[in-house]
């Protein structure tokens, strides 16, 4: 039986905040690699990586190679795979979680495996993890739905206004070309119109930006939905739409489950046996 090729690829996440979120296992992969490729949100993070490994090569310049983001991604992937094919242990270090809203790590791993190389992903602290902590959101309390902003706009979705709605990458909301790195007021107005079919215009929403340096505070700006087109939006801004209505109990299902409990001698005269999430959701 032929042994697999010597080269390997590991895509790791460095987390969102500089030097705070890197796991020991991901650090070990970086320190023992033959070459490290990085795609970071801040230049200081690349300097920090350079303290862990003598050969750190930035993928950031590929964004400047042309207006088509997909073409930039293809070049990043090929650059890493060239070194894998040479038999080297390659690490791709990406900010946040390498598998969350990240085309390059997923595709690079897929192609490396297809060519017979060992390739895998190590998780990291994502912007979503920071969002949940900074805003005090428990996804299990009333529910939690999330989409990429442009995808949310151009496809029909069944939005649940009783749950949290998180829209990522609103900084490029409405871009159909994969060539823009910013949105504009007109496109944001389209996004607002889509959301207003589920929420009133004065519904309070949140603009969030995770902390990338270990100083300062995350951005948490609250504003009416209808004011979104005038807001300051960056490429990394996330939109959170809190629940706009209470959960509606499905009484038929409740009665059916209660009947099962009674048959098994588990009847309750109070809500002590009811899941906490169901109690909180019903009490809004």
Query: What is the side-by-side order of every strand in the sheet holding 8-13?
Result: 56-58, 35-39, 89-94, 8-13, 118-121
Q: Which of 62, 73, 164, 236 is catalytic?
A: 73
Sign of CA dihedral 28, 34, 39, 43: positive
58, burial (CB in 10 Å: exposed 0-12, middle 13-18, buried 19+): middle
117, two tokens: 């190389």
Q: How many residues make up the chain in this entry?
A: 284
Q: Which of 57, 62, 63, 69 is catalytic?
A: 69
Cβ-Cβ contacts under 8 Å for 222 (sequence gap 6 or more): 204, 205, 206
- How far apart, in whole angstroms, are the C-alpha atoms of residue 23 and residue 31? 12
Q: Which of 62, 89, 95, 236 is catalytic?
A: 95
Residue 73 among the catalytic residues: yes
Q: Could you say which DSSP state residue 3 is in?
A: P
Tell me how crowded residue 114 is: count the other CB atoms within 10 A of its CB. 9
- How far apart, in whole angstroms, are the C-alpha atoms of residue 193 and residue 201? 9
Residue 95 among the catalytic residues: yes
Residue 157 among the catalytic residues: no
Q: Contact, 30 vs 23, CB < 8 A?
A: no
Active site residues: 69, 73, 95
């Amino acid at each position: 039986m032929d042994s697999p090729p010597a080269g390997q690829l590991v895509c790791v996440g460095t987390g969102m905040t500089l030097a705070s979120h890197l796991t020991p296992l991901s650090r070990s992969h970086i320190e023992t690699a033959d070459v490290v490729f990085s795609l970071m949100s801040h230049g200081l993070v690349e300097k920090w990586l350079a303290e862990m490994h003598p050969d750190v090569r930035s993928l950031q310049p590929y964004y400047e190679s042309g207006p088509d983001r997909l073409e930039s991604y293809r070049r990043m992937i090929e650059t890493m795979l060239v070194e894998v094919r040479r038999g080297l242990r390659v690490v791709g270090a990406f900010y946040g979680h390498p598998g969350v809203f990240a085309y390059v790590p997923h595709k690079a791993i897929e192609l490396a495996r297809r060519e017979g190389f060992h390739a895998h992903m190590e998780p990291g602290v994502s912007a979503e993890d920071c969002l949940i902590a900074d805003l005090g959101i428990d996804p299990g309390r009333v529910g939690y739905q999330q989409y990429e902003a442009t995808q949310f706009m151009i496809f029909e979705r069944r939005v649940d206004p009783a749950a949290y709605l998180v829209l990522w990458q609103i900084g490029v909301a409405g871009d159909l070309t994969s060539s823009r790195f910013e949105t504009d007021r007109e496109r944001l107005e389209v996004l607002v119109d889509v959301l207003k079919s589920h929420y009133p215009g004065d519904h309070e929403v949140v603009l969030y930006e995770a902390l990338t340096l270990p100083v300062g505070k995350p951005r948490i700006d609250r504003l009416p939905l209808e004011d979104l087109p005038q807001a300051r939006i960056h490429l990394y801004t996330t939109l959170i739409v809190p629940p706009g209505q209470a959960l509606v109990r499905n009484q038929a299902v409740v009665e059916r489950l209660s009947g099962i409990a009674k048959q098994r001698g588990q009847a309750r005269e109070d809500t002590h046996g009811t899941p906490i999430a169901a109690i909180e959701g019903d009490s809004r």
